[in-house]
Chain A
Amino acid sequence: MKNFEFLFAAYAVFWLGICAYLFRLSLLQKRVDDRIQQIRKLLDRNRSS
């Protein structure tokens, strides 16, 4: 198991990066989706009143 710690470090960095990006994407997506729902509700209320 020569140089195993470097291999481990590299994989950890790699997956942390990918996961952080995915997490950020899903967070933003959720925020935008909520906002879309909100505006749609507002639109419907205005239309029906």
Chain B
Amino acid sequence: MNFLRAVCIIAGKDLRVEFRQRENFTLMLFFSLVILVIFHFTLDFTELSFETVGAGVIWIAIHFTGILTLGHSFRQEQAQDSLRGLRLTPIDPAAIYLGKWLANTATLFAMEVVLIPLIAVTLNFPLARFAGPLFLLIALHTIGFSALGTLFAAIAAQTRRGETLFPLLVFPVEIPLIGSAVRSTTTILNRGTLADVVPWLELATAFNLLVLGAGVLLFEYILEES
């Protein structure tokens, strides 16, 4: 129970910081809006239907916006050397990892709640019809994205050129998950059912478990003082 409490405390701390600042969230929303407009000018939404490009737009927007907030989650700890404070707290590093992961996932969800309807409006697709399966898919894949992002953000925050390095670390490892997300979402948007995408769901679950397991086991080596 102590472990769970520690997880909640860390997650609560991050969410409180996020809620008080709100600047991170505002930035993300604005960035995703910019991405959408760029998408329109590169792909021309009036020509292409949501069945063909919808999934790609959704996931590229989520990933590019998400990478900003994930990278920020440990860089903000560097500002006043509060990373050292985290190291010194008598909390299991695994709990710190899980707490950070929870907070990041929650932030990403909050961003998606605004972003997805926005995409639905700009691409003209009936969100209500797909809401159920789409929600499940987005939740499943966001979990893995933030699990990997949280782990590598801790690495990137402690290296030189961390901001640039961070996406280079996350994206190659995450490619299977991105593939899974886009393919399964495409199937759903083309009026498929969840039963059609079971192999992808299994793959995403395996990825999530692998990354979360690795994060819990390996996080202490990343946080270690050098």
**Per the CB under 8 Å rule, do A and B touch in the complex?**
no
Which residues of B are at the interface with A, using a C-beta cutoff of 8 A?
A: none
